[in-house]
């Protein structure tokens, strides 16, 4: 509780309550307002902002905002007391039928079941909190999200790259600077040093792909890395030493682990640290991977976002497929998790399917996902049954 100088209570400090903890709203003005807008605002102020990360806070805000818009559009009001289980189930079906984008072949991509379930989870957390803090009678139907079933998720499929695909991806990475060079007449002069586009950071992009392919790190884990976690952090030492690592990698469920770096990762990181990163450093730069300092809208300190890493990986896949004529080697859309699956399969093969090593290096102890990460790519699985 916050208090004035004479010790009188003034109410709770925003951002001090987890979503399922008690907050004293006894003296809150208009505490009986029968409005989704009012209660969503209170939930975000008291239980989300300052408690959850900025990225998660924004996601919760968007998801609850979508429910508010859908509900008010269907009923012409936003009275929270009228929300029942039927409306929550209806919103679930609305989300499941919502188009997300139109694919290149003209097909409409709908919202993924996992994304729909994520919306429902955030709505459930909101109503759980509101049921505890709202005055008696505001929710006559209790928690309307209770017993609303989640959508059934499709069986996960392996997404590891085949050995041939890995080979051509690494070939593209070896030549990545050439894809970003300026080709105008002034830049083709014999005495001119090859220049790249102002925002391009090919050495950084190569280091990110090699790191994810050689460690299985998730995109959020890569975005969260600081330079101080790299041991050694000196480029010359990275090239010389055979044992280098990233310490304290923060994963899901508040886990932390150490990952070792292979030769490709060490060399790529050394090149980036020596030739590109110094030009992007400012007084707040702690992150290992930085966005270009020439970007006006970059984050304070320059830390890349997980979405930026999606873009980096996707662009490498696009360049790869422009170079490859063999349909069997084409990647389609390359995603960060494809690199994680590839690492999981290759580590399983090289370690003799050592379960303890897989759990430790992948940072995921769930059997279901361990089996998924260690499934072979299609060309390997097809080869096993070719002559049976």
Q: Which residues are catalytic?
A: 218, 252, 337, 340, 364, 373
Hey, how many other C-beta atoms are within 10 angstroms of the C-beta on 46? Answer: 25
CA–CA dist 103, 110 (Å, integer): 10
SS3 of 281-350: CCCCCCECCECCCCCCCCCHHHECCHHHHHHHHHHHHHHHHHHCCCHHHCCCCCCHHHHHHHHHHHHHHH
CB neighbours of 282 closer than 8 A, spacing ≥ 6? Answer: 293, 301, 302
CA–CA dist 42, 167 (Å, integer): 53
Check if the beta carbon of residue 223 is closer than 8 Å to that of residue 303. yes
Backbone angles phi, psi at 66, to 5 degrees: -65, -40
């Amino acid at each position: 509780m916050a208090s004035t100088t004479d010790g009188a209570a003034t109410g709770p400090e925003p951002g001090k309550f987890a979503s399922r903890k008690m907050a004293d709203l006894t003296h809150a003005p208009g505490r009986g307002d029968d409005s989704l807008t009012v209660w969503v605002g209170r939930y975000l102020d008291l239980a989300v902002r300052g408690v959850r990360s900025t990225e998660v806070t924004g996601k919760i805000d968007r998801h609850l905002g979508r429910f508010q818009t859908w509900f008010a559009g269907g009923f012409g009001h936003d009275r929270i007391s009228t929300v029942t289980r039927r409306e929550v189930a209806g919103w679930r079906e609305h989300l499941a039928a919502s188009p997300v984008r139109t694919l290149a072949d003209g097909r409409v991509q709908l919202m993924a079941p996992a994304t729909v379930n994520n919306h429902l989870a955030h709505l459930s957390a909101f109503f759980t909190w509101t049921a505890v803090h709202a005055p008696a009678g505001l929710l006559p139907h209790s928690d309307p999200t209770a017993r609303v079933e989640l959508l059934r998720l499709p069986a996960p499929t392996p997404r590891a790259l085949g050995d041939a695909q890995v080979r051509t991806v690494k070939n593209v990475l070896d030549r990545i600077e050439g894809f970003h060079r300026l080709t105008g007449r002034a830049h083709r002069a014999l005495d001119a040093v090859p220049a790249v586009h102002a925002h391009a950071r090919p050495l950084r992009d190569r280091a990110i792909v090699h790191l994810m392919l050689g460690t299985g790190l998730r995109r959020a884990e890569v975005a969260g890395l600081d330079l101080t976690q790299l041991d050694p952090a000196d480029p010359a030492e990275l090239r010389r030493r055979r044992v280098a690592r990233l310490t304290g990698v923060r994963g899901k469920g508040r886990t932390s682990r150490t990952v070792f770096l292979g030769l490709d990762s060490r060399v790529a990181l050394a090149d980036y640290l020596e030739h590109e990163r110094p030009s992007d450093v400012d007084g707040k730069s702690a992150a290992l991977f930085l966005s270009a300092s020439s970007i006006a809208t970059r984050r304070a300190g320059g830390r890349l976002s997980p979405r930026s890493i999606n873009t980096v990986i996707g662009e490498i896949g696009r360049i790869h497929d422009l170079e490859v004529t063999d349909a069997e080697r084409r990647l389609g859309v390359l995603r960060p998790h494809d690199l994680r699956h590839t690492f999981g399969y290759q580590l399983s093969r090289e370690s003799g399917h050592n379960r303890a090593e897989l759990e430790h290096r992948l940072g995921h102890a769930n059997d279901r996902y361990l089996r998924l990460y260690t499934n072979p790519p299609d060309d390997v699985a097809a080869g096993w049954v070719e002559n049976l």
